[in-house]
Amino acid sequence: MTTIAVKPLVLKDVLLKIATDNYEKHVSGVSWVPTAAQIQWQGLTPDAVFSDVANATWALTLNYVQDWETEDSLAQYLFEHEGETIEMVFTPVKGTGKKTFTADVTITPGQIGGEVNAYATTSVTLGSTKPVIGTVA
């Protein structure tokens, strides 16, 4: 049996391209989450039990700080482009030859406002296609 080496991912200097603009300075978290339902069928005998898993559906969660002063900030982009489907490219580690994840996401606006004496941060979950893995040229 082969022992597989591991290089844990630490998000600390990423690229996040949404449509044609970069938003890595606006976000503190990027998570694509798959959800797959368990499918079961039971016949009328004890040995007629079948189970499978449906194809996963994907959602993208962005954690970000609200900025309503800067034109084209992420908060304003999400607000102004609700319902549009756009391409997003996430590069967890900058550099040539590093992995990228690309998917089409459907824009949903995020929360407006927050708590007193704190940065107005929020999260939004966007519908997504399954990310495609590539590499930075």
Give tens-digit pLDDT for 21-75: 999 999 999 999 999 999 999 999 999 999 999 999 999 999 999 999 999 999 9
The residue length of the chain stands at 137
DSSP letter string, 8-49? ----SB-EEEETTEE-TTTEEEEEEEEE--EEEEE-SSTT-E
- Owning domain of residue 102: 15-135
The answer to the question of residue 3 being in a domain is no
The model's pLDDT over 82-124, given as tens digits with 9 standing for 90+, comes to: 999 999 999 999 988 899 999 999 999 999 999 999 999 999 9
CATH of the domain at 118: 2.40.30
The answer to the question of residue 97 being in a domain is yes
The answer to the question of residue 5 being in a domain is no
pTM assigned to the model: 0.88
Structural domain tally of the chain? 1
The answer to the question of residue 92 being in a domain is yes
- Is the CB of residue 63 less than 8 Å from the CB of residue 29? yes
The answer to the question of residue 114 being in a domain is yes
